[in-house]
Amino acid sequence: MPHAQAPKQTQRALVLGSSSPYRRELLSRLKLSYDVAVPDVDETPHPQENPRDLALRLALAKAHAVARNHPTAVVIGSDQVADLDGEPIGKPGTHDRAVAQLRRMRGRTVVFQTAVAVVCHETGFEQVDLAPVHVKFLDLTDDEIESYLLAEQPYDCAGSARSEGLGIALLAAIESDDPSALVGLPLIRTCRMIRAAGIRVL
């Protein structure tokens, strides 16, 4: 008599809750099928909220905002806040703001607080973690700052620099235990968390 085959388990859908093309590129490195949904979250910091807590709160809020519309899926949310002596440094948006940011950061160490959250509303799964990245900037001249910004125009990046591009030339050192965290999604932590949520990575 033939043995009955065990029913195949269907893997849950995976959803990235982010509008960032950088996070999409990073998650695509895992060769997983996933959807993208843009979270509707107010990113205004709370009064006296430090960058670390802000990043953690927003990552979780983004994941839950998307999971409300995808309750059976495993949802990833992420957020990054540049931290200069406890002050959040956001995306500059304009050339003049980027100049001001880089002038403030030259010769100093900035902590890029990169948070990732994974939730599944159907199972009640929720995890959130932080991958801080310590970035030492060179003591840049005004001409070097201007030359860089005109070449790369990183106005959608927290801290006004793209380390995966020409922005690496602005830096003296990067210290992190999760190499992709500086770009916007810490993949070591993401893999660990989505595995715990039931996603087969390999």
Q: What is the pLDDT of residues 132-185, one digit of tens each?
A: 999 999 999 999 999 999 999 999 988 999 999 999 999 999 999 999 999 999
Question: Backbone phi, then psi, for 193, in 5-degree steps?
Answer: -75, -40
Is it the case that residue 7 has pLDDT exceeding 70? no
Average pLDDT of the segment spanning 61-75: 98
- Taking the C-alpha atoms of residue 80 and residue 59, their distance in angstroms, rounded to an integer, is 8
Q: 86-95 pLDDT, tens per residue?
A: 999 888 999 9
Nearest of 73, 8, 5, 72 to residue 35 by alpha carbon: 73
- Residue 74 — φ and ψ, nearest 5°? -90, 120
Mean pLDDT in residue range 14-33:
96
Active site residues: 79
Helix axes 95-105, 142-152, angle to 10 degrees: 130
The answer to whether domain 14-196 has CATH 3.90.1150.10 is: no
Burial of 143 (0-12, 13-18, 19+ CB in 10 A): exposed
Pairing of strands 74-84, 109-120: antiparallel
| Global confidence as pTM | 0.90
Whether the predicted pLDDT of 4 surpasses 60: no
What's at 54, amino acid-wise?
Answer: L
Summarize the confidence of residues 24-47 as an average pLDDT: 96
Distance separating alpha carbons of residues 7 and 124, to the nearest angstrom: 24
